[in-house]
Structure 1
Amino acid sequence: MTQFNFTLDMDILKDSVMNSNIDAVVKSTIVLVLNEYMEKERDEYLQAASYERSNDRVDYRNGYYEREYTMSLGKIKLKVPRTRQGDFAPSVFEKYARCDQALVLSMLEMVVNGVSTRKVTNVVEQLCGKSVSKSFVSSLTSKLDPIVNEWASRPLNTKYYPYLFVDAMYIKVREHHRVVSKAVYIALAIDEDGRREILGLKVDHNESFKSWSAFFQSLISRGLQSPKLIVSDAHEGLKKAIQQDFVGTSWQRCNVHFKRNIVEALPKKGSEDAISLLKSMFAAEKMDALRSLKDIFFKTYEENPKYQKALAILDEGFEDSIQYMNFPIAHRKSIRSTNSVERLNEEIRRRERVIRIFPNTQSAFRLISAVLISYVDANKYWNRKLFSVEKS
């Protein structure tokens, strides 16, 4: 079996499932997988597919009955197939110790690995003791799409998000027999209770004004209200889309990226004092102090030609990089950079290295959605409260 390269994360996923730390989206997916598995078992028992005429037929279909099934992850309601003579019994109920865990873990691996049917077939065979066809695995994969789509298109008008973070990363996808680069847009927000939530994602051809605007419009169509602040990098198309689609919203240039750009423009040697002053400037808690340190920085280095490029960068992006100062002190650490959404990018990249090249855009969307769902569900640090409402 092809190795996953992130055994620890699979252990986290397994613990999440077995300890009932699972949201409705994943639980619904498990129901779909188990129902489909029992349907396949009935076909094999009857030796005939639905509506198929066959001399080898053992019995006939006789509809379904609902049965609540108590698993270690909690109660689920299954649609159990039956036969006229009543001799058929799905192995799901007989072999819980093997099939329950094996199918759940196989389903999770299938999601996290996109449409790699070969991998899923191998896992099911090794864990369940029986093989399944690639076409069957593909049918299960296709059934996951509406579950993932439901998560990605859920309404956003149930609460207000004052802070929105957006970023893009690039992946490789096969398209028309070629390997092309695709942009993955991710939107993360902080609600009024100080908790983070991933609002949406999109896989598109490239990072452009039109693509960013289309992504924003999809969020707005789901009920997203204009936030008070949007945090991002300084991509020109992204900035233009923010100005057009969120009139009256302030834009915060990622402070971490901005400082890095300035430092990279400084002389390679002898810039320790300049870097220290730069850090002190952006660590100031009052706007007057921050602006005073900026003036000191300019007065100290404006006569030195080696610092002109760094000074030009600082002057050009200064105002956009300090918009977080207009918000409560307790909020500033969480809203001055895109670190939170970049942490998601790292998590996606770790999974993406296993696949390297996605078979198609839909498989990429499926993988990334599944990674985000499972990561947020299992990560207590991510779900913690960042700041108190009383301090807003």
Structure 2
Amino acid sequence: MTQLQFNLDIDLLKEAVINSNMEAVVRSAIVLVLNEYMEKERDQYLQAAAYERSTERLDYRNGYYEREFTMSIGKLKLKVPRTRNGEFSPSVFEKYARCDQAFVLSMVEMVVNGVSTRKVTHIVEQLCGENVSKSFVSSLTQKLDPIVNDWAKRPLNDTYYPFIFVDALYTKVREHHRVVSKAVYIATALTEENKREILGLQVDHVENYDSWCSFFQQLKSRGLQSPKLVISDAHQGLQKAIQREFIGTSWQRCNVHFKRNVFEKLPKKDSVEIRTMIKRIFEAVTIEDMRNFKEELTSQYAENTKYEKALKVLDEGFEDTIQYMQHPQNIRPHIRSTNCLERLNQEVRRRERVIRIFPNTQSAFRLVGAVLLHYQQTVYAKRKAFSI
């Protein structure tokens, strides 16, 4: 362990403490400690103390240079020791870094939690009395790249996920001096222990069959096995991709989206009774009752032309929307819709609204991935599994 020695004038120290504010005293103490620590590091690097003659000496002292170092208490001016060959670098500084790591991480954490870079600079100024540029804060987020990439590429072959939820949302990205929309694909899942987990994400140009196939292939390359059920909206390209990439997997059309699609085809007036009967179908306890209630509704309103479009939508999507009924009753509320994924999308949207337009595709992947990773660690990982 490095031993540090300080020579202090007690009377001078007493006067400084009494006549100065505590912030100035703390800053001076930290400067003293860091300067002395770097001096000892140089001695260890040279393998010789000051004015010591030694055959093991590696290099010679070459004075000092001043360097600013930003911490949570403000900006400090340190005397950094140097050597003649210029190869010595004190451990106080990460190479080319001018902020301590705790300070850097706090700024990155603010960005991930939805604070704009402009507000971050304002907060830093209020707390530390120092200015940092917006571009500096933005550059700090690049430190997230290896963390997000490792998480997004982690193996999935050590856990079986019987239920997978998928959806895509659109975000704006600058590309070739234009602002374009990019689709962000997100997949979450339920484990056999009934715990939620975010599987991964992908940013692509559009939402279509080929892009969904690519996303599923990426998940499979990490070890994902075919689930029992994939829950999503009724995007046609997505349906085809599920059939191709997951052999033996059933598709569950989101119950909430489906009912909304049916209700949109109903007239706004004089439709209270049929709306009630549709809700009754999906509130049934058994799949047989659901089918019976549907037949009853169809028979009653089949001749009424103003309900024709709604009944057609109901008939075409009905079986795909009740696949969840094939599974245990206690788990059905958790797999009949994509509501859990919609809630996650809201967290992404909350952060995205602050950014508005991402400067490039990598920045979109980085930030959305950081939000998902943060949500996994702070919400899903701490949530208890439900019993069935």
Instruction: Give the structure-1-normalised TM-score.
Output: 0.72
How large is the Cα RMSD of the aligned pairs?
2.9
* Aligned counterpart, 1:12: none
* Aligned counterpart, 2:50: none
1:277 and 1:270 map into 2 onto residues whose CA distance is 13
Pair 277,124 (structure 1): closer, same or farther in 2 beyond 3 Å: same
Q: Is 2:360 aligned against 1:384?
A: no
* Aligned counterpart, 2:164: 164
Pair 148,119 (structure 1): closer, same or farther in 2 beyond 3 Å: farther
* Aligned counterpart, 1:52: none
* Aligned counterpart, 2:105: 104
Q: Which runs of no fewer than 5 residues in structure 2 stay unpaired?
A: 1-37, 43-63, 68-78
* Aligned counterpart, 1:180: 180
1:197 and 1:46 map into 2 onto residues whose CA distance is 51
Q: CA deviation at 1:103?
A: 3.7
Q: CA deviation at 1:354?
A: 1.1
Q: Is the 8 A contact 2:253 2:337 kept in 1?
A: yes
Superposed CA offset, 1:287-322 (max 9, x none): 111110011110110010001101100111111111
3-state SS, counterpart of residue 347 of structure 1 = helix
Aligned residue identity for 1:104? L
1:245 and 1:217 map into 2 onto residues whose CA distance is 7
Q: CA deviation at 1:360?
A: 1.0
Q: CA deviation at 1:202?
A: 1.0
Q: CA deviation at 1:139?
A: 4.9
Q: Which runs of no fewer than 5 residues in structure 1 stay unpaired?
A: 1-38, 49-55, 65-78, 83-89, 93-98
Aligned residue identity for 1:246? F
Q: Is 2:63 aligned against 1:62?
A: no
Q: Is the 8 A contact 1:282 1:290 kept in 2?
A: yes
The total of aligned residue pairs comes to 311
Q: CA deviation at 1:349?
A: 1.0
Superposed CA offset, 1:252-301 (max 9, x none): 01111111111111121111111111111111111111110011110110
Q: Give the structure with higher Rg (CA).
A: 2
Q: CA deviation at 1:384?
A: 2.7
Superposed CA offset, 1:70-95 (max 9, x none): xxxxxxxxx6459xxxxxxx995xxx
* Aligned counterpart, 1:154: 154
2:188 and 2:272 map into 1 onto residues whose CA distance is 35
Aligned residue identity for 1:326? Q
Q: Is the 8 A contact 1:287 1:325 kept in 2?
A: yes
Q: What percentage of aligned pairs have identical amino acids? A: 59
Q: Is the 8 A contact 1:170 1:182 kept in 2?
A: yes
Q: Is the 8 A contact 1:324 1:336 kept in 2?
A: yes
Return the structure number with greater relative CO, CA threshold 8 A, min gap 6. Answer: 1
Superposed CA offset, 1:28-75 (max 9, x none): xxxxxxxxxxx9xx9xx8458xxxxxxx985246356xxxxxxxxxxx
* Aligned counterpart, 1:96: none
Pair 133,312 (structure 1): closer, same or farther in 2 beyond 3 Å: closer
* Aligned counterpart, 1:361: 361
Pair 135,317 (structure 1): closer, same or farther in 2 beyond 3 Å: closer
Aligned residue identity for 2:340? S
3-state SS, counterpart of residue 82 of structure 2 = coil
Pair 362,119 (structure 1): closer, same or farther in 2 beyond 3 Å: farther
Q: Is the 8 A contact 2:163 2:228 kept in 1?
A: yes
* Aligned counterpart, 1:236: 236
Pair 298,57 (structure 1): closer, same or farther in 2 beyond 3 Å: closer
3-state SS, counterpart of residue 358 of structure 1 = coil
2:99 and 2:166 map into 1 onto residues whose CA distance is 46
1:316 and 1:131 map into 2 onto residues whose CA distance is 61
Q: Is the 8 A contact 1:111 1:366 kept in 2?
A: no
Q: Is the 8 A contact 1:184 1:202 kept in 2?
A: yes
1:219 and 1:265 map into 2 onto residues whose CA distance is 36
